Structure 1
Amino acid sequence: MKKIIYALILSLVVVSGLVFANREIKNEIPKKEVVQNLSTAEKKVQRKKWEATPDGIMFKNWEASPEGKKVYASEAKIRKAIDDYDDMKGVVTSLSLPPGSRLGFGIMVKINHDDYILSFGLEKSGSNEFEQLKSLKVNDTIIIKSHGVSHAPKYLYPIISGDYVERNNKVIYKRAPQKGGC
């Protein structure tokens, strides 16, 4: 009888110890990664490391190529309008993006005799935020405002982030402000 009681008490102690240990593990606060702002010198070092990688070498070669120089020249033509969030008059040249693009919904436009990709981002299922943009036709004249222009070696044109589009003095698209941002 004593052996059975000792066995029960021992098993009760082992089980309660396991339960208590498991509870402490669950209560631990997970450590969050600390994002540090890098100094200018550290950024330069990181950039030099990246430029030595195959992707960095490919990008530098693209920048020096005629295609890369053309993209940068086109960006420079609209840089002031982008920085000042000014109106840019454009003409729709295509209702689809170049084959293989993964920019979401977008169109091709011509601004000051240069072609640009006007990208609006991914379409949310069940959303109709791009419905009025889909009514655009080739050769429609539109007014564009944007906060950003970018480029990628994959594309032969600069990529304008579509923030505001107007046709015939009527706003047909305005990007909603991001929640929780500045």
Structure 2
Amino acid sequence: MKKVIYALILLLVVVSGLVFANRETKNEAPKKSSPKPLTDAERRAAMKIWEATPEGIKFKKWEASPEGKKVYAGAAKIRKYIKDYTNMEAVVTSLSLPPGSLLGFGVMGRINGDDYILRFDGEPQQLRSLKVNDKIIIKSHSVSYAPKYAYPIVSGEYAERDGKVIYKHPPRKGGC
């Protein structure tokens, strides 16, 4: 009889140990592996696949069109300023963006004789005081383009008018 009781107690200890150990592993946060960056070959292969899609074909046609070449030429014209994050003088040409744009707040501006969409994040109240023909100094780290727009898109990170800062990109929340 004693042997049966000892066997049952031993069985109970083993089973409770397994249940307890299994419960601990479920409560632990799963370790997320960071995605590996794609190699150049993988990136090129993915690009070829995308270019075969209807969106990719449409984009390639736009790139080859006169409108696409004009946008690329405009982006290339200010690439040095973007790369070096230096001042660009812009003249405000319109206080509204092209119809149907989904870029948030922005104005149209002329830099070095070419028109650009000057896009700003958030709700920059100081920029709402701009008027047509105002001269502003802007800095940016990026210029982009899309077939939907006939102008390069400059993402403004800093703007000043008459020596006063009127916009500075807000810092990222919870990031570096």
Count the aligned residue pairs. 159
- In structure 2, the partner of 1:138 is 132
Deviates more, 1:169-178 or 1:142-151: 169-178
Is the CA contact 2:121–2:169 (under 8 Å) kept in the aligned structure 1? no
After TM superposition, the score normalised by the length of structure 1 is 0.79
CA-atom RMSD in angstroms: 2.3
**Aligned pairs (5 A) from 1:83-162:** 83-123=83-123, 130-162=124-156
CA contact (8 A) 2:97 2:117 kept: yes
Deviation at 1:49, TM superposition (A): 0.3
Specify the code of the residue in structure 2 equivalent to 1:98: P
Q: Distance in 2 between matches of 1:140 and 1:94?
A: 10
Counting aligned pairs with the same residue, the percent is: 68
Q: Could you tell me how far apart the structure 2 residues matched to 1:151 and 1:94 are?
A: 19
Distance in 1 (CA, whole Å) between partners of 2:24 and 2:138 is: 57
What is the alpha-carbon distance in structure 1 between the residues aligned to residue 155 and residue 58 of structure 2?
A: 24
Aligned to 1:164: 158
Q: Quick one: distance in 2 between partners of 1:26 and 1:60?
A: 49
TM-score using structure 2 length: 0.81
Contact 2:71 2:150 in 1 (8 A): yes
Q: Partner residue of 1:51?
A: 51
What is the distance in 2 between the residues matched to 1:101 and 1:180? 29
CA separation in 1, counterparts of 2:122 and 2:61? 30
Any unmatched runs of 5+ in structure 2? 1-19
Which one is further off, 114-123 or 86-95?
Answer: 114-123
Distance 1:84 1:57, change over 3 A: same
